[in-house]
Amino acid sequence: MKNSIVLVAYAMCASVCLSAAGQSPAPFLLRDMGSGAWAAIDNSTVKPNLAGSNAGFVIGPQAVLVVDTFESPAAAQKMLGAIRAKTNLPVRYVVDTHYHLDHVAGNQVFAKSGAIIMAQENVRPWMRTENLKFFGEKITPKQRDWVKDFYLPDVTYAQGATAYIGIDRGEVLRFMAGHTGGDTIIYDAQANVVFCGDLFWNHALPNLIDASTKEWVESLNVLLHDYPSAKFVPGHGDEIGNASDVRAFRDYLVFLRQAVSRAQADGASGVDVLRVVLPQVSERYGKWAFFDFAGPDIQQTDEELRHLKKLPRQPLK
């Protein structure tokens, strides 16, 4: 698990260093969701990869709301430019769907333009602390300083909020447990779009380093129940999803929990669980993106089901 996460983190830091030279002309692809809602899909074919995740924005009658700010200020600046090409309305809000660095590293770009940064209350204390772990024990001073300089949310909430970008157009922000313990989905009723952050990976294996898969499955069931006809923007994945895609992702988590539980019941532990379960995951999900997460996912789920998994510490109230 550690090796995979460290490699991802080093790639992110390399992207930030290269961004100053302007070497990534198109870090994301815009998808029109209708009614002023836009998804910004990570263009992973461009190297270096300055986006690192999906994001988006909604243009309302009076203002703009942005969802996530990528893994580099360069990509965030590109999205601000894309917004300015479509409207002169102010970017009033940015919502961080969770604290992971590939979704928040461009916050300062929008803060400097006057936006209010919003997030679930756990995101603020975790952003400059928990993100350090992605670099491992050999984190450099430059990497540490980069994380320590992340722009923190200005406004936080426990369960949710409504951010108005027009007199009658409010974006619904809802806390949902699962991926990190501080996740927000954003629902735009006019476009019938749910921006999911990393609560939904479209045909891609997820990062489970902070996850409670039991709560995650429950949250996905809520999404499917409450927004059955919506379009779902994933945190990772090349395509906008529908309910069937969200269901397929939920079923991966269910399958993983069941396969690991069976292996444990048969007496397997540690590397034996990995040896037993990995072929099962490969057979069923081997064509999904980010398959390198398969091994870490199995190990993390094994620890979770044994009640040994370390999750981010909840801040003191």
Order across the sheet with 155-157: list the strands.
28-34, 37-42, 55-59, 64-67, 91-95, 116-120, 155-157
**pLDDT, position 21:** 37
Instruction: Give the angle 167-173-176 at the CA atoms, nearest 5°.
Output: 165
pLDDT band at 269 (very low <50, low <70, confident <90, very high): confident
Give the closest residue to 53 by CA, choosing from 278, 206, 228: 206
89 close to 64: Cβ distance less than 8 angstroms:
yes
User: Region 75-81: what's the mean pLDDT?
Assistant: 97
Residues 103-139: tens digit of each pLDDT: 999 999 999 999 999 999 999 999 999 999 999 999 9
pLDDT at 316: 57
Q: Give me the pLDDT at residue 49, please.
A: 84
Across 22-36, average pLDDT: 83
Confidence of residue 314 (pLDDT cuts 50, 70, 90): confident
pLDDT bucket at 204, cuts 50 / 70 / 90: very high
pLDDT score of 19 more than 90: no
User: Mean per-residue pLDDT for 285-291?
Assistant: 97
Domains of the chain and CATH, by start? 2-242 (3.60.15.10)
Q: Which residue has the higher pLDDT, 251 or 16?
A: 251
- At 163-192, the pLDDT tens digits run 999 999 999 999 999 999 999 999 999 999
CA distance 210 to 187: 24
Token pair belonging to 183: 């996740």
pLDDT at 317: 58
Q: Which residues pair with 64 in a beta bridge?
A: 59, 91
Q: What is the mean pLDDT of residues 233-239?
A: 97
Q: Are strands 169-176 and 160-166 parallel, antiparallel or unpaired?
A: antiparallel
User: What are the tens digits of pLDDT across the range 140-149?
Assistant: 999 999 999 9
Record the tokens describing residue 42, joined without a space: 């990570």
